Amino acid sequence: MRTKITAVAVGVLALAVMPTARAPFTSPGGQKLLPNNHEVKHVIIMVADGMGLADVTAARIRKNGIGGPSLRFETLDEIGYQRTYSEKNTVTDSAAAASAWACGEKFVNDEICQHADLRPNNANLLELAKAEGWATGLVSTQTITNATPAAFGVHTTNRRCETDIARQYVQLTRPDVMLGGGRTAFNPPKPDACAISGDFTTLAQSYGYEYVVSVTELQTAVAQRARRLLGLFSPSYMTPEISRPTPSAEPHLMDMTAAALDTLDRVNDRFFVMIEGGVIDLVNHVENLDAQVAEVSAFDDSVGVVLDWINAREERKQHTLLVVIVDHETGGFAVMGTEAPGAQPLGSFTGGWTFTITPPATAGHTGTDTMIWSQGPGSAALGKAIDNTTVYEVVKAVLR
């Protein structure tokens, strides 16, 4: 059995806010989820995959100077942090971590919102949003079939079944917007780990998706007011910022973010979207400081696109829940230098990863708590120490 709730199930978290003012909803744990009594019309979850707090420090110094302004996501109203452990591991992978947000339960590493032992599982947040009539979208610089976006759109016990994930997107959940890497998964040369193969790009087009493979085609599709978008801009994950030619045929994360917001806002006055900076994790795994700083900076630019979109209209300010969140930290990265007085100019630093697997020099995930920045209705419940499953409770409450 894939789900244990239906689209109309009430559960223990009834929505606290309607267009008319009501008392704030209080969860069983005593959290007031919607203290400002605003109805939520837009839910935007932005994931910085594998980004620790030291990554933020490094990017801020490089981008704005040692005493310069905060990164855009650091300016959000609420700051909290979360426990990230998975069902059977102190150290989570992206599949279990994203599934905790998307489905509100602990899962075993590699599982995506589905238990291998056949226990029932919750519907994910994207499914709940669609059931309420909202538009939905998924955006990532990783493959769009990778673990984090997949947790919000499908159910599978094996994150490596990326063609089956593509199949479920196209045949079952059908997000209105899907933008990222992963062309190969949609039309693979051989079956995936679940023995699934097929041409799901052609099938998606038969269902009304505008299929694009470059930034120019994406911009054209948006200008022509496409109602459904499938953008697959690389065979695998998208090219890291530091390695891209100028100009690049691949859109940057900020380009995909702008396209998703424009499309979703045009087709529906209510939408749910997950936007992931997925390559942050990859460059931390290979311990590349310059690449890490570039990816965090690009992610922050995308948060800037979202904040500018929100701030353009008062209605959006009052009715948008924005959550910037990290699934796990990668490598135990630290900002380092020398303690010798005067030996290092202010603002210069070196960086290193404490959890290194050699050879070759690669970093692994760590079990440290990770950050949450948020603003908008419901965000007060995230501005404290929480478990990662609490994100599901908060978003589920505002979707109804």
Give the pLDDT confidence score for residue 384 in this predicted structure.
97
Express as a percent the part of the chain with pLDDT over 70: 90
Q: Which residues of the chain have pLDDT under 50?
A: 1-31, 33-37
Q: Which tokens in the block code for residue 141?
A: 């610089």
Instruction: To the nearest 10°, report the CA torsion of 70, 73, 76, 82.
Output: -110
pLDDT of residue 9: 33
Q: What per-residue string of b and e applies to 24-33 under the rule 16 or more CB within 10 Å gives b?
A: bbebeeebeb
The DSSP code for 122 is P
Q: Which CATH class is domain 46-335+348-356+365-399?
A: alpha beta
* Token output for 354: 């404490």
Tens-place pLDDT, residues 324-364: 999 999 999 999 988 888 888 899 999 999 999 988 889 99
Q: What is the pLDDT of residue 38?
A: 60
Instruction: Give 242-299 pLDDT, tens digit per residue.
Output: 999 999 999 999 999 999 999 999 999 999 999 999 999 999 999 999 999 999 999 9
The set of long-range contacts for 102-105, using a CB threshold of 8 Å and a minimum separation of 24, is 102/126, 102/151, 102/152, 102/392, 103/151, 103/392, 104/389, 104/392, 104/393, 104/396, 105/389, 105/392
Q: Where are the domains of the chain?
A: 46-335+348-356+365-399
Which pLDDT score is estimated for 360? 83
Provide the token pair at 265: 């806002």
Q: How far is CA 10 from CA 1, 43, 135, in A?
A: 19, 19, 21
Q: At what angle do helices 253-267 and 289-311 cross, to 10 degrees?
A: 30
pTM of the model: 0.91
pLDDT at 302: 98
d(CA 153, CA 162): 12
